[in-house]
Structures are given as C-alpha cells and as structure tokens.
Structure 1
Amino acid sequence: MKLGVFAVLFAQKSLEEALDYIAEKGLQAVELGTGGYPGNSHCNPDELLNDAGKLKAFKHAVESRGLIISALSCHGNPLHPQKAFAKEHHDAMYKTVELAQRLEVPVVNTFSGCPGDHENAKYPNWPVAPWPNDFKEILDWQWAEKVIPYWTEAGKFASDRNVKFGLELHGGFSVHTPGTLLRLREAVGEVIGANLDPSHMWWQGIDPVQAVQILGRAGAIHHFHAKDTTIDPVNVNKHGLTDMQSYSMMLDRAWQFRTVGYGHDLKTWADIISALRLVGYDYVVSIEHEDGLMSVDEGFTRAVQNLNQVLIKEPLGEMWWV
C-alpha cells in the first residue's frame, strides 16, 4: 500500500509548494481536486486538456517528486434538480474523466449525487425512512428515473476511457452505504466502486471493517480515504447520528471529524488496514484532513505519523510456515 493525501487541504499553496511539502513528509501519492465541491486550485481540467505543454509540465511536477496521482476528485451533485447546478458538476466530472485518461490515472472520485423528489423539484431530497410510504415512493422514483439512468451513461463514458468511479459513501447522497453502492454497481457494472472513507461509516453506525469486507469481497473498493470520527456519548442522545448542527458547533454536536487516531485507536486502524489487505486492496490510503481541533499542518502530520505505524507497505511473500 502507498500513503497519500487529498491535497485540497493545501489549496492556499501553489502546486509545486504543495507537492514539495507532501514529498518531504515521505508520502508516495497525491489525490487532486478537479472541480465540484473541492475546487480545482491545483488541477484545472480546462487548462490541462487544452494545452499539451501545461499537461506535460503538470505530469513532470508530480513524477519528478517521486509521487503518483492516486485519483482525480470532483465530488459534486450531478443529479441536483436545479439544472444549471447539475450541469456544472456533470461537466466537471466528464472533463475529469477525460483528464484522468490523459494522465493514466485509474480512478475519478465523486459523489453519486442526490435528485429531488419530482421532475420540477428545486432541492435534493434524501429519504431516510421507508414510512410514511411517501418516502419509499420518492426513493423508488429517484433510483429508477434518475440514479441508475444517469450512472449507466456516465459509467459507459468512463469505461470507454479505462477509468473507474470511486463513489464516496456520504450521507445526503443516494449512494451512502455499502448496500447502496452495491445496488448501483449491480445495475451499472464494475466501473462503479467505492472511495471508502471510514469517517462516514462511523457516523452512520457502520463498522468500517465490515464495510471493507462487504465491498472488498465484491472487488468494489477503488480508492480509500483515511479520516476519523468521534461520537460524543452525551450529545448523540440529544441530536442523534443525523445531527444537522453546523460542523463548527463542535462542543454541542453528536459527532465530528477527527484526524486519524483521534477518534479511534491505532488498533482499530490496524484492523481496517489489515481488512483492506485481506480483501486484496493494495492501492493508496489517502489522508483527508477535516479536523476542527487541529491546524492543517498538525492534523496532517499526526495522520502521517499514525498511519505509518499501521500501514502494510511490502508486497506479500510466500507463507514459509505453511
């Protein structure tokens, strides 16, 4: 496995400065934002697709520092019921796929999106209960009319370019659990897989080790994010796991994101890494920093230190004892 980082946390740095910093920390991979919610401060598809010189210089900047690009990421909502908003994210995703093909990057990370509850809706609707029956009817309509048709077409576009989608399982979007990911994968094909982030499993009440097992047995893990979550044992009883308070209200929230090792101990992270190896995932573990109690530098540095203690880096050898 290789250790990497989702470089959007260094958006205030130039590409070269960010890559230098990442390489100095001893990492081997970088994940770059190309649009949507993460922005494209380090990797603008329009510029790179339209200028061969800039594309060559971009590749050299990464490779000359001993790094690989693990994924291009354009997390967005291409299913948003407001057509202009959806088109912006759709276009960013399709351009990202084209850029991934040019750069020989195997994975484009994004969200599945979430549609509205009817054709003339203005806002996404994320049903979370099967009753009253209205919610189940909305969910059935969304998948039949929006989710599966959209991703069938997008999946073919990516497959034709030898690129896979890593969908992040995130609350608020149609694909947010191992089960919903596998549902879409069954309908669309193996081009669909997970960008599995344990932090979003924990706050939904899902054991990340089991999520790795469920998805890994199906060969459905295309990328992996390393981010932690802590659940407040008092506040969760007041607000529940679907706490809608701002992330900035850290003292009162039911849960919050933390850097690796500050929500769960390293034995738990060792179990996750071991589960990844067990199911055959031997790609990149990409650090994502969204810890409101630590600076970017400190949170990132602690994540690197903690993951280096549990990451399994060497290739498997023969079982000499068998």
Structure 2
Amino acid sequence: MRLGLFTGCLPRLSLEAIAEWSARQGYDALEVAAWPTAATEAGYAAHIDVAGMTGDEIARVRGVLTRNGLTLSAISYYANNLHGDDAERERIHRHLLACVDAAAALEVPCVGTFVGRDASRSVADNLARAQRHLPPLVEYAAARGIRLVIENCPMESWHPDGYPGNLAYSPELWDWLSGLGLYLNFDPSHLVWLGIDPIDALRPRLERGQVLHVQAKDIEIDDRARTRYGFFGKTVGRQAPEDVGWWRYRVPGRGLLDWNRLVDTLYAGGFDGVVAVEHEDPVWGGSEERIKQGLQIAAGTLRPLIL
C-alpha cells in the first residue's frame, strides 16, 4: 500500500511543484486532477493536459515522477456523466475518454470520475439512462487496459435541494455499479454523515475486488446542529446546496474516523493500492500555505499506518 494525495486542492501549482513538495512530505503517489484546461479559470485543476498528450507531454510527466520518486495512481476528472444537457454530457464524455487515453499512454491503471445524475429526473430514470450512457465509457477504457473508479461522494451540491447528485453514494448502488463494470474509489468520509458504517461497507467490497483506489478524507459532525436542522440540513438559511450546517469534511486526523481500523481493514482485505488524501477541509484551507499544512497533518496521521 502507498500513501498519495489528490492534486485538485492545489490548482494554481504546477505538477512539478506539487511533486517536489509531496515527495518531501513523505508521499509516494499522486492522483492527478485533469479537468479541461479552460476550467482552470473557474478554480479547477488541470495538472496534466490530457487533450494535448503529445510525446513531449508524456516525457515531461514521466520525468517529473522519476525525479521525485513518485508514481501516478489515477488520472481523475470528477464530472457529471449523466448531465441532463446532451451537448454538455457529450463534452464531458469526450474529456473523460481523453483522460483514459492519457492514462494508457502513461501506464496509469485507473481513471477517477463520478456517475452523476440529471437532477430534473427521478432516480429510476437516471438508472435507466446510465444503462445507456455508461457502458460505452467502460468498454472504451477496458479496451485500453484502464478501469474507471467511481468516488462514492453524494455530490449534494449538484442538486438544487442538496439531495444526492451522484448515484454512487451507497453500497446498494455499488452493486449496480459493479454490474456495469465500474469500480470504487472508496472515500469513507461520505458514508459517515449518511449513517453508513464505513468499515462494514468496505469489507465485502474488498472481498469482491471492487475497491481499486482509496481517497482519505475525514469528517466532523455537530450533533447539536443536526438536532436544529435535521438530517437534510439547513433550509431557510442555506447559502448553497452543500451548506448543510451540521457536518463538514476534515483532513485525516482532525475528524472522527478511526484511521488505524480503516487502514488495517484495507490490509486485511488484501488492498495493495494507493490511499490518496483528498483535502476539502475548510479549517486548513483558503491559502496555499494552509492547504499544505493540512496535507502535512494528513501525512502525519497516515504515514505511520501505511507500511
């Protein structure tokens, strides 16, 4: 098992700068964010230009990794693959397939993404649409030796009322994903606020070989605030769909997850991939310095556990 980080939290830094800093902090691998380069103006990260994956770009990326003793665990583009607008969904799919091509060129085993959802349709309608739209993506990746790993984030910010916007948030849906040939990028933090025990959910997925990548993120829950707002969160005072008011994500070591048990469960289940820190902690955010401090806290928590 190796310790990695997801580069999306440092969108303004180059891949070179992130690799050099990460290696010094004891990280072994990078899950690289690869949004379209045009999206960087909106704050998204494009640390690899998958649309311009020339021989020179391949050599550049390999050189960065070699110099810093790092590996790539995944190339990731977390977008709504069931977007309700046909033209936008097709654009998303084209870029995801470019990520697959880049992963194949760089010999990276996984491409990370979401399933998504058309928020104007019912869950049943979305599941039926997924049966049409997702298999061609899986087949394209498989033909190139790449597997698509789906993060189990509910993406409540994609729904106008804060309901799940990514149909991959529960073990029931993971069974459905498996039937489509999709794998998991397992993130335990999302399960806690949904009332799902992450260890109990993880064990059978390891037995079935469905977990190919892990994201490490923690969570903090305010029980008194939940008593005020209820499970679905703020209503009158909500500033954004994700502004639920009673929970927030934290870096590993600053939340309530038992990382010793989680990592031990991964080892017991035979997982030998990358555990990549995903930094979405508002306490350790807001500036490059604070984000890096958060990543140092995460490394200090996880590094002694990942041998």
**Matched residue, 2:48:** 43
Kindly report which structure 2 residues correspond to 1:204-219, keeping only aligned pairs within 5 A, or say none. Answer: 204-219=194-209
User: Conserved in 2, the CA contact under 8 Å of 1:39 and 1:74?
Assistant: no
Larger radius of gyration: 1
- Are 1:180 and 2:173 matched, yes or no? yes
Task: Encode CA deviations 1:21-56: one digit per residue, 9 max, x unaligned.
Answer: 0111111100101116883431110122xx211211
Cα distance in 1 for residues equivalent to 2:252 and 2:105: 33
Kindly report which structure 2 residues correspond to 1:73-222, keeping only aligned pairs within 5 A, or say none. Answer: 73-115=76-118, 124-125=119-120, 138-144=122-128, 146-171=129-154, 172-186=165-179, 188-189=180-181, 192-222=182-212
For 2:96, the aligned partner's letter is: M
The two structures have a TM-score, normalised by structure 1, of 0.83
Cα distance in 1 for residues equivalent to 2:45 and 2:197: 32
Secondary structure, in 3 states, of the residue corresponding to 2:303? helix
User: Percent identical across equivalent pairs?
Assistant: 27
Secondary structure, in 3 states, of the residue corresponding to 1:309? coil
For 1:308, the aligned partner's letter is: R
Q: 2:254 aligns with which of 233, 256, 262?
A: 262
Q: Cα RMSD between the aligned structures?
A: 2.0
User: Conserved in 2, the CA contact under 8 Å of 1:248 and 1:292?
Assistant: no
Cα distance in 1 for residues equivalent to 2:230 and 2:52: 44
Cα distance in 2 for residues equivalent to 1:152 and 1:249: 30
Higher relative contact order (CA closer than 8 Å, sequence separation 6+):
2
For 2:136, the aligned partner's letter is: E
> Paired residues, what number?
284
Offset at residue 72 of structure 1 (A): 0.5
Cα distance in 1 for residues equivalent to 2:169 and 2:33: 21
For 2:293, the aligned partner's letter is: E
Task: Encode CA deviations 1:103-157: one digit per residue, 9 max, x unaligned.
Answer: 1100111001112xxxxxxxx247xxxxxxxxxxx3222212x112222111111
User: Conserved in 2, the CA contact under 8 Å of 1:147 and 1:174?
Assistant: no
Offset at residue 240 of structure 1 (A): 3.0
Offset at residue 292 of structure 1 (A): 0.5
Task: Encode CA deviations 1:185-220: one digit per residue, 9 max, x unaligned.
Answer: 12x23xx11101111111211111112113112111
User: Conserved in 1, the CA contact under 8 Å of 2:84 and 2:120?
Assistant: no
Quickly say closer, same or farther: Cα 1:301–1:87, change in 2 above 3 A: same
For 1:67, the aligned partner's letter is: L
Quickly say closer, same or farther: Cα 1:248–1:79, change in 2 above 3 A: closer
**Matched residue, 2:73:** 70
For 1:215, the aligned partner's letter is: R
User: Conserved in 2, the CA contact under 8 Å of 1:247 and 1:256?
Assistant: no
User: Structure 1 regions of 5+ residues with no counterpart?
Assistant: 116-123, 127-137, 314-322
**Matched residue, 1:271:** 261
The two structures have a TM-score, normalised by structure 2, of 0.87
Secondary structure, in 3 states, of the residue corresponding to 2:134? helix
Kindly report which structure 2 residues correspond to 1:203-242, keeping only aligned pairs within 5 A, or say none. Answer: 203-242=193-232
User: Conserved in 1, the CA contact under 8 Å of 2:82 and 2:89?
Assistant: yes
Cα distance in 2 for residues equivalent to 1:55 and 1:165: 21
For 1:46, the aligned partner's letter is: A
Write out the 4+ residue segments of structure 1 that deviate beyond 4 Å after TM superposition.
246-250
Secondary structure, in 3 states, of the residue corresponding to 2:68? coil
Secondary structure, in 3 states, of the residue corresponding to 2:141? helix
Kindly report which structure 2 residues correspond to 1:2-17, keeping only aligned pairs within 5 A, or say none. Answer: 2-17=2-17
Quickly say closer, same or farther: Cα 1:230–1:88, change in 2 above 3 A: same
Q: 1:297 aligns with which of 265, 286, 292?
A: 292
Cα distance in 1 for residues equivalent to 2:123 and 2:3: 37
Cα distance in 1 for residues equivalent to 2:242 and 2:228: 14
Cα distance in 2 for residues equivalent to 1:198 and 1:308: 18
For 2:255, the aligned partner's letter is: G
Cα distance in 2 for residues equivalent to 1:147 and 1:246: 31
**Matched residue, 2:162:** none
User: Conserved in 1, the CA contact under 8 Å of 2:263 and 2:305?
Assistant: yes
